[in-house]
Structure 1
Amino acid sequence: MDWLGVSEFVAVVETHSFTGAAQRLGLSVAQVSRQVSALEQRLATRLLYRTTRKVSVTEAGQLYYLHCRPLLDGLRQAEQALAHALDRPNGHLRITAPVHYGESVIAPVLHRYLQDHPAVTAELNLDNRKIDLVAEGYDLGIRLGPMDESSLMVKQLGTRTHYVCASPGYLARHGEPHTLAELKQHQCLVGTVNVWRFKEPDGRMREISVAGKLRCNSGAALVNAALNGLGLVQLPDYYVHQHIASGALRSLLGAYTMTDGIWANYPRNRFVPLKVSGFIAALQQ
């Protein structure tokens, strides 16, 4: 059996473009196009319709894809089983994580992991959207917050704490809130949603609508706004812990501090590759 062009064809179907397939496989667009064309010539069948705007799958192409996808999965599992048997992490590790957490926490761990395991190479994609790990070919995804129902394997790495903070200057001018109801009297620096979540002392969850003169989808920008005295901010510990420690920000409403999870997600597989399990262990440490 000749596998030439099969991986490229499957990648084009799943990414809906030659460019997406090239990025997934680490090839040039021209290489992907040549391999798929050669596959069509060998099969004497058109598998894809190509226009300047899009790529679509022919009826024959859809039938061929449905048979090829399980074969590629089986080949990948065979390679992973072999890697597992070698008893050392190796191969290419594709990871996705949220932007700021990836920069501040995941990347330093990954750098050390690559130094400790010379046979591993890695790609770290930082993106705040929820990525389909299987469809986009990732080995591991780092997720923050409450976990939804998922067909993926899930392992908790730890927890994060959300702090409400403000600068001493802001508090000197506007006073300090001591109850959740008092938040309505303050300028609140709002992120992607205008709701802050809290845990009552009795364990119940509360959601409080907040408002203020600034809304921004960047946690780093909100921290700077709080440091400059523009209002209160609620952010996870990895954004604010150093500023709380230095006194540049003060932690507020400690009785209502909110915590949630940090998770590793990875596709279900009979053999979890050592490159994945080893990196998860590094993150847990």
Structure 2
Amino acid sequence: MNRWEGLDEFVAVAECGQFSAAAERLGLSTSQVSRQVARLEERLQSRLFYRSTRRVALTEAGQTFLQHCQRLQDAREEALRAVSDLGAEPKGLLRMTCAVAYGERFIVPLVNQFMAQHPQLRLEIELSNRPLDLLHEGLDLAIRLGRLQDSRLVATRLAPRVMYLCAAPDYLQRYGRPHSLSELSRHNCLIGSSDHWNFAEGGREAQVRVQGNWRCNSGEAVLDAALRGFGLCQLPDYYVLEHLRSGALISLLEQHRPPNTAVWAVYPQQRLLSPKVRQLVEYLKQGLAQRPEYS
């Protein structure tokens, strides 16, 4: 005997409150539904419904059993959708957001390549340095940098993100090289979006408030000022690795480099991602891994 027999009929009766309404929902006869539920009760050795001439009501055992059956139905439908979605073509509207500079440099080119491969997809990208609320704004996806704060979101790691403290050789020749976090107060620090820089000290994260005569909320602008020898900067790897390799910048206080953060794809909690979001996230992950900044 199939141990699953009667579960769909039981749930339909519980949700509809009548055998006839459940039969209509399932496209079966009332007698078929009644027979399946009776067989289910017999197998369970437990009464699931109190029956009257007009309506039925769940027993205590029925209420407990219903919760489990509904979860089983959800899991079954999710499994079926997961398989059918494997080859599904991304289509419809996808709304996403990303920080401006990172989006322009890395994400939008990859998204455009993805769009070229999937002409049924429509896209809206909002580049903003303000972290938008995905649920409130109705967004399907966000690309976030650093550490995540919103526990309502599910995250997939797309790429590493290592922070470097560095300066141009010219600056270091004139002002010396810092050998400890306490020495940062003696240096001109090029401040980006925050005057609190993150480091590692004694196995823990530490924040140091820095100061200087230059500030701009653009990573590219901070990089340009650092290359000109204006002061120290703390920037992610994708800004500075090329210049560290060429010697145009020198990495400093490497023993205090903050724990690696990351580039994340985040999306609202849901049991199954739509094909458009799932396939784009995987495409971004593969595309970023091929960039020289992450090699």
- TM-score where L is the length of structure 1: 0.67
Secondary structure at the counterpart of residue 89 of structure 1: coil
Q: Residue type of the partner of 1:239?
A: Y
Asked if the contact 2:98/2:142 (under 8 Å) is kept, the reply is yes
Q: Does 1:223 align with 2:223?
A: yes
Match of 1:174 in 2: 175
Q: Offset of 1:119 from its aligned partner?
A: 2.1
Q: Offset of 1:120 from its aligned partner?
A: 1.8
Q: Deviations over 1:28-57 (max 9, x none)?
A: xxxxxxxxxxxxxxxxxxxxxxxxxxxxxx
Q: Offset of 1:117 from its aligned partner?
A: 2.1
Match of 2:122 in 1: 121
Asked if the contact 2:141/2:267 (under 8 Å) is kept, the reply is yes
Asked if the contact 2:86/2:275 (under 8 Å) is kept, the reply is no
Match of 1:235 in 2: 235
Q: Offset of 1:128 from its aligned partner?
A: 0.6
* Match runs of 1:1-285 below 5 Å: 84=85, 87-200=88-201, 202-258=202-258, 259-285=260-286
Secondary structure at the counterpart of residue 238 of structure 2: helix
Q: Offset of 1:260 from its aligned partner?
A: 1.0
Secondary structure at the counterpart of residue 157 of structure 1: strand
Distance in 1 (alpha carbons) for counterparts of 2:235 and 2:252: 12
Q: Residue type of the partner of 1:95?
A: M
Superposed structure 1 runs of 4+ greater than 6 Å apart = none
Match of 1:7 in 2: none
Distance in 1 (alpha carbons) for counterparts of 2:160 and 2:150: 18
Q: Deviations over 1:145-203 (max 9, x none)?
A: 12114212222223201111111111111111121111111111112221110123x52
- TM-score where L is the length of structure 2: 0.65
Q: Residue type of the partner of 1:125?
A: E
Asked if the contact 1:170/1:230 (under 8 Å) is kept, the reply is yes
Match of 1:12 in 2: none
Q: Percent identity?
A: 45
Q: Residue type of the partner of 2:235?
A: L
Asked if the contact 1:140/1:265 (under 8 Å) is kept, the reply is yes
Asked if the contact 1:160/1:262 (under 8 Å) is kept, the reply is yes
Asked if the contact 2:134/2:141 (under 8 Å) is kept, the reply is yes
Secondary structure at the counterpart of residue 165 of structure 1: strand
Q: Deviations over 1:56-112 (max 9, x none)?
A: xxxxxxxxxxxxxxxxxxxxxxxxx79948712122221100111111221122122
Distance in 1 (alpha carbons) for counterparts of 2:147 and 2:232: 23
Distance in 2 (alpha carbons) for counterparts of 1:150 and 1:281: 22
Distance in 2 (alpha carbons) for counterparts of 1:284 and 1:218: 24
Asked if the contact 1:101/1:238 (under 8 Å) is kept, the reply is no
Distance in 1 (alpha carbons) for counterparts of 2:271 and 2:261: 29
Q: Offset of 1:222 from its aligned partner?
A: 1.0
Secondary structure at the counterpart of residue 134 of structure 1: helix
5+ residue gaps, structure 2? 1-80, 287-295
Distance in 1 (alpha carbons) for counterparts of 2:257 and 2:103: 23
Distance in 1 (alpha carbons) for counterparts of 2:230 and 2:86: 57
Distance in 1 (alpha carbons) for counterparts of 2:195 and 2:269: 35
Distance in 1 (alpha carbons) for counterparts of 2:241 and 2:199: 18
Q: Offset of 1:229 from its aligned partner?
A: 0.9
Asked if the contact 2:95/2:124 (under 8 Å) is kept, the reply is yes
Structure exhibiting the larger radius of gyration computed from Cα positions: 2
Tell me the C-alpha RMSD between the 2 structures.
Answer: 2.0
Count of residue pairs brought into register by the alignment: 204
Q: Residue type of the partner of 2:251?
A: S
Secondary structure at the counterpart of residue 156 of structure 2: strand
Asked if the contact 1:84/1:271 (under 8 Å) is kept, the reply is no
